[in-house]
């Protein structure tokens, strides 16, 4: 159907505050989409608890049950496809995805990372920012490719690094922006306004965050 809401699959390994921000945006009407399924590689992920509290299908897929990363990704893809997922959102999903994942979902997988990429990819982005003494950090939403925190950049938000910041105070300030920008990017995607051409992401009308 032309105007049925975009179906999102959310992959998360941890507390799921970004999942919650998506659900809040849907509930408030700011985001016209539906979370079709939530998948985690961690049995105890708080994200699964949050999903179940919203009566959403939520699955723990155990990486140890598969012979390799490809096998695991095939199982994830099956789960996503079975729930008619049209856009996959990695929201604190702590695994690199393989071709087996990306091929069936080309330009349909986005990730959020708590730094201004390409600075500070990988783990401990806030610690890396503080160690380098940068005055500005932020968050990035990008399409996912098979390298870590590397694919074409869709949107970035700057956050000042303040004197006396700790990892946790910086993380909190950045997280507040993550919660704002991710649902907005998803709405732009749902509206068909985001196009990826190679490493360049084109946004119709420009993205106002």
CB of 92 to ligand GRF, least distance (A): 3
CB of 91 to ligand GRF, least distance (A): 5
**Tokens linked to 89:** 């959102």
Concerning whether 132 is annotated as a catalytic residue, the answer is: no
Q: How far is Cα 176 from Cα 139, in angstroms, rounded to an integer? A: 10
Binder to ligand GRF among 5, 7, 15, 193 (CB under 6 A)?
A: 15
CB of 110 to ligand GRF, least distance (A): 11
3-class secondary structure, 203: strand
113-152 footprint of ligand GRF as x/- string (CB under 6 A): xx--------------------------------------
**Tokens linked to 10:** 């959310």
**Residue 112 makes contact with ligand GRF by CB under 6 A:** yes
3-class secondary structure, 8: strand
Which of the residues 92 through 111 are near ligand GRF (CB under 6 A)? 92
**Residue 169 makes contact with ligand GRF by CB under 6 A:** no
To the nearest 10°, report the CA torsion of 87, 92, 97, 103.
Answer: 10
CB of 157 to ligand GRF, least distance (A): 11
Q: Which is nearer to ligand GRF, 71 or 160 (CB)?
A: 160
Catalytic residue among 54, 55, 83, 113: 113
**Residue 42 makes contact with ligand GRF by CB under 6 A:** no
Contacts of 162 by beta carbon, 8 Å cutoff, 6+ apart: 169, 170
Binder to ligand GRF among 16, 36, 151, 183 (CB under 6 A)?
A: 16
Cα torsion angle, 185, 118, 198, 87, sign: negative
Q: Which is nearer to ligand GRF, 79 or 111 (CB)?
A: 111
Q: Is 192 left (phi over 0), alpha (psi -120 to 50) or beta?
A: left
Q: How far is Cα 152 from Cα 144, in angstroms, rounded to an integer? A: 7
Q: How far is Cα 181 from Cα 179, in angstroms, rounded to an integer? A: 6
For binding to ligand GRF (CB under 6 A), which residues are involved? 12, 14-18, 47, 91-92, 112-114, 175, 178
User: What positions carry a catalytic annotation?
Assistant: 113
């Amino acid at each position: 159907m032309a105007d049925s809401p975009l179906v999102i699959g959310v992959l998360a390994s941890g507390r799921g505050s970004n999942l919650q921000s998506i659900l809040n945006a849907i509930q408030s009407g700011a985001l016209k989409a539906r979370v079709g399924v939530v998948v985690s590689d961690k049995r105890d992920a708080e994200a699964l608890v949050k999903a179940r509290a919203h009566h959403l299908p939520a699955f723990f897929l155990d990486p140890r049950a598969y012979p390799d990363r490809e096998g695991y990704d095939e199982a994830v893809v099956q789960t996503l496809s079975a729930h008619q997922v049209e856009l996959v959102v990695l929201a604190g999903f702590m695994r690199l995805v393989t071709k087996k994942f990306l091929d069936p979902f080309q330009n349909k997988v986005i990730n959020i990372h708590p730094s201004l990429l390409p600075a500070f990819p990988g783990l401990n982005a806030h610690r890396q920012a503080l160690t380098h003494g940068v005055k500005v950090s932020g968050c990035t939403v990008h399409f996912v490719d098979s390298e870590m925190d590397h694919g074409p950049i869709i949107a970035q938000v700057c956050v000042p690094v303040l004197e006396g910041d700790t990892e946790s105070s910086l993380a909190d300030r950045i997280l507040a922006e993550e919660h704002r920008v991710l649902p907005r990017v998803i709405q732009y995607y749902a509206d068909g306004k985001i196009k990826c051409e190679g490493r360049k992401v084109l946004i119709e009308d420009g993205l106002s965050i």
